[in-house]
Each structure stands twice: as C-alpha cells, then as structure tokens.
Amino acid sequence: MIKRFFSGICFVSIGTIISMNVFAEGDISSGKAKYKVCIACHGENGGGLKINNAPRIAGQKSWYLKRQLYNFKNGIRGSHLDDITGMQMRTMALSLNNDQDIDDVVAYIGTLNGRGKHTNLDGDIKAGKKAYTVCVSCHGANGEGNKALNSPKIAGLPDWYIENQLYKFRKGIRGVHAKDIYGQQMRPMAMAIASNADVRNVAIYVSSLKRVTKFESVDVKASNVVAMTKSTISEPLYAPCASCHGVDGEGNQKLGAPRLAQQHKWYLKRQLGNWRDGIRGTHSEDVYGMQMRPMAMTLLDEDSLNKVVDYISTLQGAVPKPTINGNLESGKNNYVACMACHGANGEGNVALNAPKISGLQDWYIERQLHSFKKGVRGTHKGDIYGMQMRPMAMALKDAQSIKDLATYVASFTEEVRESPVISSEKVSEAPKTNTGIVSVKNGQVLYATCISCHGKDGAGNKTLNAPMISGQNDWYIARQLHNFKKGIRGSHEKDLYGQQMRPMSMTLANDQAIADVTAYISTLKGKVSAPTIQADANAGKALYTVCASCHGAGGEGNKALNAPKIAGQQDWYIARQLYNFKNGIRGSHPEDTYGQQMRPMSMSLVDDIAINNVAAYISSLK
C-alpha cells in the first residue's frame, strides 16, 4: 500500500537510474549555500517542520531526493490544483537552475542528521502492521527502501506526512501525471486501503519502524538484487516484478498479483504491450491494472520486453492451492462455452488468441471475469481480444456462476508449457494485398478461428450462441463480416453476441481475406439443427406472409432484394435476431441500410409469442 510511496518520473533512462550512485556527485559547499532557501521549512538539520508541512529529508536516499526535485521543477509534482504544499515546493525547486544545482543541494542534504517529530496519531498499530505486509516487498521490513524497485526510504518520516501523502495518492492529487510512472504505480496501492482509519493505522506503524542511518545502503544495482526469499534474480528487468509476482513467478494474493510461471510467452508479451500502450490499466476501476501499467512502461523497447518475457518463461513457481469453494459441477457446465477456445484442460490456443488458464489462481480468474463482465476490461477500442472475451463473461448470470467457474478452472492439472497449436503467424496468413483471386485454401486457414464456435462444418452451436453459416449465401456472409468489422454490427451496448463476433471479424486483414473465408464457408455442409422452440408454427405461417415477399415462400432468400436465405437456420437464432431488430439492437446504425429496412418489418410482430411463432415456422422450411 505504501509501495513506491513518494515515487516520481525518472529523468534519464531506467538503466541509468538503477546504476546511479547512492549519493549524488555534487559540491557540498555549493549545496550548503543553495540549501539556505530550504532551511525555513525543512530546518537547518533537515528534520522538517509540521507547521510548514515540510517532511524530514535528512537521511533520505539521494537518488530519491534528486528525482523529486526534478519532478517539482518540471511540474510532474506540484502542478495539481489541490496540491497546495506541492505548489509551494515547486516554486522552491524552480530556484535550482540546472541539474548541477540539484546535485549540489542533494549532496549537502546527505550531510544532515535532523530528526523529524511525530504527532502521535491515535490509531491501531497492530492493524497498521498487518496492512503493511503489502508494502514490505518494495519498501522493506524496516521501511529502508529499495532503489532497484524505485521505492524510497520511509522509516523516519513523520506520521502526519505519511498520512497526508497516502491521502493525496488516494484522491488523485498525486500519481496521475502522465510522466509520473512510479507515482502511478503507488496510487492504486494507496487506493486499496479501505478507509481513512486504515490510512492512519498504516501511518502509525510506519512511523514506528527502526530508522536506518543515512550511510546504510540498500540501493544495489538491479543486476545484484537479491531475491527476498530463496534465490538470486538473474534477469535485472524482472527484479521489480519479483516483488509482487514472486521470485519463481508464483504470484501473491495479498498483492493481487497472478501466477506468471508456465504461461505462454506470446500472451505475456501481448499483455505487457497492452499495459505499456494504455490498452490495459487505464480504466478508472482497474486498480491492479493501474498498478501494473507503469511497471510495463519501464520496458522502453521490444528488446527489453522480449528479455523479461524470455526470463519469465523459465520460472517454475508452484501451482497455488484453491481458495474458493464454488460448485464444481455447476462450474463444469459453465465451462462448456469456454472450452472451444481455452481447451478442455485450460491449456489455451494461440490460434484463437486464448491464453492458458490452467495453473492460474481461482481468485484471479474470478476477478478477471468480474472485470470483463463490468467492462473494466474488454471495452478499450484497441483491446480486440478483450472485446471478444467480454460478452462471454457477460453471459455468466451472477457472482455465484463466476465463483463456480473459477473453482472449476482451478481444478485443472497443469501439464502443457506451450500451446500445441501452430503459431499465430501461420494461422493468420491473410494476403497482404487484394489480388482479386479468391483462394478457398487460404480461406480454410482463416476459418481456423471460426471453428471453435461455428464448428468444422459450419453447423453452429447454440451453447456458444453461434448460428449455422453453412449453406448461407456467400454475398450475405461477406456483407455481415464487413458490417461487423466496420462496427455497423456488434457495437450496440446490448448486442452481447455481436460484440463477441466483431473482434473475430477484425482479425480478417482486408477484403481479400473476407472473400477467401467466405468462399471456404460456401463449401461447408453442416446439418440442420433440430427445433428448440415450442411455439405455434401455424400461427407463424400466417405471420410469414409478410416475410415471403423478400425471403421467398421457402425461405430461400433473394439477392436482388438483399434478403438472405433463412431456411435451415436455427429457430433460437431467428428469434433472437427478430427481437434485436424489433428493439433497435440491430437496424439502428445509420450505415445499416438493409437492417433499417428489416427493422420496421420486425416491429409488426407484436410480442415475443409472435416472434417465437414465426421462428418456429421458418425452422420448418426445408
């Protein structure tokens, strides 16, 4: 919760900051002269004064002081309208003309030995100690800090100042500036503190920690970071990750960090890229994502990202024990919809962009399903695969269903390290340009993504809400794929299954790819499904007379009227689409010309009974 308590943006490369000397290389005598401006608030010995809202700075790490002075000087701190004391500090920092001035004054502060005064806040120190277990991994058991993790020393800071800064992080007065990478990481930790009383308890406990002398250094180079538990981290880039995810990638529920060990490299790489690019970790309710994003942002290039992913792939952290007691049988039933993409044993499938979920903690699976269902994940326009996952989570009717599913997934035995499916590069071999020559063979390759829901023969699957597509007019399939890809379909907030289909269509690179996959679908021979709706087909026949003028007496369709074939289509799908048209979920987009034509036709069906009757009749057509 106090992780990276007073963190700010680095002003040189990450590697330079990690290897920076503990004490700044400045001129002490020159720094003493410059420090005269600071005395009024921080005191001659750097002990600080509460009446001036000035914390103790004596004994603080020089690298941290230097970074914060830079942040104040450049408006990364002290520019928020509610940060009154920060704005006051910023004007003082502006009196330092350049980096040398900052080096000098920090060098002088390193000679001070002032002690801060506590105000003896009233609270529960035992509760504060318990809450501090989240902070230990970065700030240390004694609040000594850790430069490799960009965590400042907090032992010796006055209780009132700790409380004040936690409030600022919680309220967004600190940790929201675009360049304040480490502050952004600290903010969600503070936001995880449940109440004002808890903030005070943490502050009281931190103020009780043994003060480390200013010459005691825990600021080692990242390449020499010693793991907190049993082994030495050999990949410097993973050092900050180990504090939450564990030395062996085992994860930590207290820190909200999932297990990383044994996860597929392609998925790790994609998610780190998503965090770095703001596709994940930017939603206001994504507390843990907000914490993770600044960590990913320290991976400045593809080489750094690849190195840390390669290292994580070597980790062997144990599979965690279950923590949720849901109903296994119910969870198994719910998992039927997940199996098509994630596999029978949760092994994942790179061709379908479905990650491995076996070996993940049940509490983490539960949290992510809630995030998808609420729109905390899967709503960013750049999160194509998240958009695909969201409607699947939305189909889980309540919290108990999610709990049951998480319990079942956690029961899987982990056996597979990498996905047995061919690489995504081979699966998505869509032509770079439109050749004008339709390739059924290439369409078959592209259809691999569609199989999981629509089936090898295109017969569809009611469990997965996927309609029958075999036997459908190729011109209609092509048009609908274009509509999904452009957002004409699948963008209405109530079109859950359309939202699922849209990102699938977006994997088709161009018109050529759509033409190829459509050509392949036209070769499929799926069997017509048995009826599922019990309704009055005779009453539906009378209602169908309006439909026959476009779709034909036998439901064969009519291209000249832009009316697709509906004979052979599942009754449940017909009923759902009629409902969607009638309620404006389809046919209301300004570019959906033919949908707009269909919508008023559906509105002539007065209620759900009429819709079911006509669907029952259509399903009887050969």
Mean pLDDT in residue range 516-542: 94
310-358, pLDDT tens digit by residue?
Answer: 999 999 999 989 999 999 999 999 998 788 789 899 999 887 789 999 9
Coil/strand/helix, residue 487: coil
8 Å CB contact between 203 and 135 = no
DSSP H or E segment with residue 595: helix 593-602
For 55, counting Cβ atoms within 10 Å of its Cβ (0-12 exposed, 13-18 middle, 19+ buried), the class is buried
180-227, pLDDT tens digit by residue?
Answer: 888 888 887 888 787 899 999 999 999 999 744 433 333 333 333 333
DSSP H or E segment with residue 399: helix 399-409
- DSSP character at residue 466: B
Which CATH architecture group holds 428-521? Orthogonal Bundle (1.10)
* Per-residue tokens: 251: 């994860």
97-116, pLDDT tens digit by residue?
Answer: 999 999 999 999 999 999 88
Tell me: pLDDT of 237 over 90.
no
Phi, psi of 397 (to 5 degrees): -70, -30
354-385, pLDDT tens digit by residue?
Answer: 999 999 999 999 999 999 999 999 889 888 88
Domain ranges of the chain: 14-219, 328-409, 428-521, 537-619
Mean pLDDT in residue range 46-58: 93
> pLDDT band at 254, cuts 50/70/90?
confident
8 Å CB contact between 74 and 141 = no
* Per-residue tokens: 287: 């507390």
Hey, what CATH topology would domain 328-409 get? Cytochrome Bc1 Complex; Chain D, domain 2 (1.10.760)
Tell me: pLDDT of 17 over 60.
no
8 Å CB contact between 477 and 521 = yes
Residue predicted with more confidence, 417 or 300: 300
How much is the pLDDT for 59? 93
For 336, counting Cβ atoms within 10 Å of its Cβ (0-12 exposed, 13-18 middle, 19+ buried), the class is exposed
* Per-residue tokens: 164: 């004040």
CATH of domain 537-619: 1.10.760.10
% pLDDT > 90, the chain:
60
Q: Tell me the C-alpha to C-alpha distance, in Å, between residue 549 and each of 143, 429, 581, 585.
A: 78, 41, 18, 24
Which CATH architecture group holds 14-219? Orthogonal Bundle (1.10)
Distance of alpha carbon 550 from alpha carbon 446, whole angstroms = 32
% pLDDT > 70, the chain:
89
Task: Write a three-state SS string for 256-280.
Answer: CECCCCCCCHHHHHHHHHHHHCCCC
How much is the pLDDT for 282? 87
> pLDDT band at 56, cuts 50/70/90?
very high
Task: Write a three-state SS string for 543-588.
Answer: HHHHHHHHHCCCCCCEHHHCECCCCCCCHHHHHHHHHHHHCCCCCC
How much is the pLDDT for 433? 52
Report which of 364, 359, 339 is spatially closest to residue 349, judged by C-alpha positions.
339
Against a cut of 0.85, is the pTM above it? no
Distance of alpha carbon 307 from alpha carbon 115, whole angstroms = 43
* Per-residue tokens: 317: 């952290």
Tell me: pLDDT of 232 over 50.
no
378-414, pLDDT tens digit by residue?
Answer: 889 888 888 888 878 888 889 999 999 999 999 998 7
187-199, pLDDT tens digit by residue?
Answer: 878 887 878 999 9
600-619, pLDDT tens digit by residue?
Answer: 999 999 999 999 999 999 99
420-463, pLDDT tens digit by residue?
Answer: 333 333 333 334 456 668 999 999 999 988 988 899 999 999 98
570-580, pLDDT tens digit by residue?
Answer: 999 999 999 99
Residue linked to tokens 């002398």:
213
Q: What is the largest CA-CA distance in the chain?
A: 99
14-219 and 328-409 in the same fold: yes
Distance of alpha carbon 466 from alpha carbon 381, whole angstroms = 23
8 Å CB contact between 228 and 151 = no
Phi, psi of 376 (to 5 degrees): -70, -35
How would DSSP label each residue in 303-350? HHHHHHHHHHTT--PPPPPP-----HHHHHHHTHHHHHHH-TTS--BG
Average pLDDT, the chain: 85
Which one-letter amino acid corresponds to residue 539?
A
466-521, pLDDT tens digit by residue?
Answer: 999 999 999 999 999 999 999 999 889 889 889 888 888 888 889 999 999 999 99
